[in-house]
């Protein structure tokens, strides 16, 4: 079964600082990878997804970006954080078949001050 490693678990960053969150996947190859964010009092918002190396689909215009340099590595970045970037970030993975569920990492709690 898939295991999703996500780090760090918590992060406090000042406004304007850069961000790098990393996610790696074990137990599968060529997964679909996703970054979700839960802001306070809201549901899970899809930020980015990737169906292969170097292939990134962006769902929400913002100051975040994602990259997939290796098959099982997915990175979420920002050059300059905003207060509104605070939230709980989840990386998820699924096999690219129609009935495969998502497997989630443990998440990163980001607070921008």
Partner 1 sequence: ILNVEQSPQSLHVQEGDSTNFTCSFPSSNFYALHWYRWETAKSPEALFVMTLNGDEKKKGRISATLNTKEGYSYLYIKGSQPEDSATYLCAFKRGGSEKLVFGKGMKLTVNP
Residue numbers of the site for partner 1 (CB under 8 A)?
Answer: 4, 32, 34, 36, 42-46, 49, 51, 57, 59, 90, 94, 96, 98-107
3-state secondary structure of 85: helix
Question: Please, what is the minimum distance in Å from the beta carbon of residue 79 to partner 1?
Answer: 25
The answer to whether residues 90 and 102 touch, using CB atoms and an 8 Å cutoff, is no
Question: Please, what is the minimum distance in Å from the beta carbon of residue 39 to partner 1?
Answer: 11
Looking at the Cβ atoms of 81 and 89, the one nearer to partner 1 is 89
For the sheet with 73-78, list strands across it: 3-7, 19-26, 73-78, 64-70
Would you state the torsion angle of the CA atoms of residues 78, 92, 48, 45, taken in this order, to the nearest 10 degrees?
Answer: -90
Looking at the Cβ atoms of 87 and 107, the one nearer to partner 1 is 107
Question: Please, what is the minimum distance in Å from the beta carbon of residue 9 to partner 1?
Answer: 11
């Amino acid at each position: 079964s898939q295991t999703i490693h996500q780090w760090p678990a918590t992060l406090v960053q000042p406004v304007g600082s850069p961000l790098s969150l990393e996610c790696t996947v074990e137990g599968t190859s060529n997964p679909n990878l996703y970054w979700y964010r839960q802001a306070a009092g809201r549901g899970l918002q899809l930020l980015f997804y990737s169906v292969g190396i170097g292939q990134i689909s962006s769902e929400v215009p913002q100051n975040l970006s994602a990259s997939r340099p290796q098959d099982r590595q997915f990175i979420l970045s920002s050059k300059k954080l905003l207060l509104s970037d605070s939230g709980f970030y989840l990386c998820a993975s699924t096999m690219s078949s129609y009935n495969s569920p998502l497997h989630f990492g443990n998440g990163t709690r980001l607070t921008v001050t």
